[in-house]
Amino acid sequence: MPAITVDDILVLPRVPAPDVTQTERKVTSVTTAPRGFEGEGFPVRRAFAGVDLARLDPFIHMDQMGEVDYGPGEPKGTPWHPHRGFETVTYIIDGTFKHQDSNGGGGLITNGDTQWMTAGAGLLHIEAPPEELVVSGGLFHGFQLWVNLPSRLKMTPPRYQDIRAGQVALLSSADGGALLRVIAGSFGGYDGPGVTHTPIALVHATVSAGAQVRLPWPADFNALAYVLSGQGFVGPARRPVKMGQLAVFGPGDAITFEADGSGSRQDMDILLLGGQPIREPVAAYGPFVMNTRAELAQAFEDYQAGRLGSIPALPADPHPGHDVL
Ligand code: MN
């Protein structure tokens, strides 16, 4: 898993463990992501399937893309498609994905990079493996998270944030048992590079086999943990979790987890997500996330009328800073 890593975790700033006044969050559910296919047929796990939207708020949807080891000619992407009313966050752990949108955003996302695309009022989007990867095949593993926007920001102008792996804030848990990569928002007093419209924390944690981790977590955020690889335990009752499972935490201001230290002694990688719930009605269909059915109908009408943008004539520049003829 070549997302950014470090040789010596002990040199990193440490997130203090919660003190005795802080309340450990109980785990309210553990669900297993069903497998499916997205776009032109790349394999995904639907991380949030079976969980009530109110528990996910401000998040809407998350796909684990892969992990898949493609043969030559097998890598797939999506055709051009519209979005309105929310943000897509794409984090690539292994391999490369090329994005382009009709607002001028896009580029290559690879090995620990994140693309944070605010669709807002609307745009067209394409996500595809680069041609050389289609030819060669290879490992592909990442995530796409959908973050909702409140009604006052649904029609905000589109915005694109290109977050390189090296910009991610690297932290250690209090005793060095976990490497914490803050991708966006604020966590443990440190800011990640991703700028969010509403308060959110997005952290990729690698937990050493056998390590127990206790972290502070804002009381006004929800708390979700998705296991990317390995297995372990979550919450005070030590609920078992493994790759492809999502744990939802209840109220409190601290979260706990532990990587299984028996057997193969594999590290456990988890994606920690939390944010302030938006608490508005959600009308979601396909690529649009709005507040009402009337707004959804308007989004389809605007898309069909070409008001969400048009497909650019030139392909995305895969090497920003160089001229494209
Ligand atoms: Mn898209």
Residue 214 in any domain: the answer is yes
CA distance 249 to 240: 14
CA distance 293 to 302: 14
276 versus 1: the higher-pLDDT residue is 276
CB 148 within 8 A of CB 133: no
- Give distance in angstroms: CA of 163 to centre of ligand 1: 17
What confidence score (pLDDT) does residue 321 get?
42
- Give distance in angstroms: CA of 123 to centre of ligand 1: 9
pLDDT single digits (tens) 121-171? 999 999 988 888 899 999 999 999 999 999 999 999 999 999 998 889 999
What domain range is 98 assigned to?
9-304
CB 177 within 8 A of CB 208: yes
203: pLDDT strictly greater than 90: yes
316: pLDDT strictly greater than 70: no
What confidence score (pLDDT) does residue 315 get?
56
- Give distance in angstroms: CA of 317 to centre of ligand 1: 18
- Give distance in angstroms: CA of 255 to centre of ligand 1: 31
Residue ranges near ligand 1 (ion) with Cβ within 5 Å: 125
318: pLDDT strictly greater than 60: no
Average pLDDT over residues 63-76: 93
Average pLDDT over residues 281-286: 95
Pairing of strands 96-101, 123-128: antiparallel
- Give distance in angstroms: CA of 125 to centre of ligand 1: 5
pLDDT bucket at 323, cuts 50 / 70 / 90: very low
Residue 20 in any domain: the answer is yes
CB 209 within 8 A of CB 257: no
- Give distance in angstroms: CA of 28 to centre of ligand 1: 31
Residue 318 in any domain: the answer is no
pLDDT bucket at 51, cuts 50 / 70 / 90: very high
What confidence score (pLDDT) does residue 2 get?
59
- Give distance in angstroms: CA of 100 to centre of ligand 1: 9
- Give distance in angstroms: CA of 206 to centre of ligand 1: 27
Residue 224 in any domain: the answer is yes
Residue 143 in any domain: the answer is yes
57: pLDDT strictly greater than 90: yes
DSSP element (H, E) containing 87? strand 86-94
- Give distance in angstroms: CA of 305 to centre of ligand 1: 19
pLDDT bucket at 265, cuts 50 / 70 / 90: confident
Q: What is the model's pTM?
A: 0.92
Residue 4 in any domain: the answer is no
Q: Side chain identity at 317, as an amino acid letter?
A: D
**Token pair for residue 24?**
């450990």
What confidence score (pLDDT) does residue 256 get?
97
pLDDT bucket at 324, cuts 50 / 70 / 90: very low
Query: What CATH code is carried by the domain that includes residue 242?
Result: 2.60.120.10
pLDDT bucket at 314, cuts 50 / 70 / 90: low
- Considering its fold, how many domains does the chain have in total? 1
156: how many CB neighbours lie within 10 A of its CB?
16
CA distance 270 to 79: 30
- Give distance in angstroms: CA of 103 to centre of ligand 1: 13
Residue 203 in any domain: the answer is yes
pLDDT bucket at 320, cuts 50 / 70 / 90: very low
In the block, residue with structure tokens 């995904």: 44
- Give distance in angstroms: CA of 78 to centre of ligand 1: 8
6: pLDDT strictly greater than 90: no
CA distance 116 to 88: 6
CA distance 77 to 203: 25
198: pLDDT strictly greater than 70: yes
What confidence score (pLDDT) does residue 4 get?
75
Residue 117 in any domain: the answer is yes
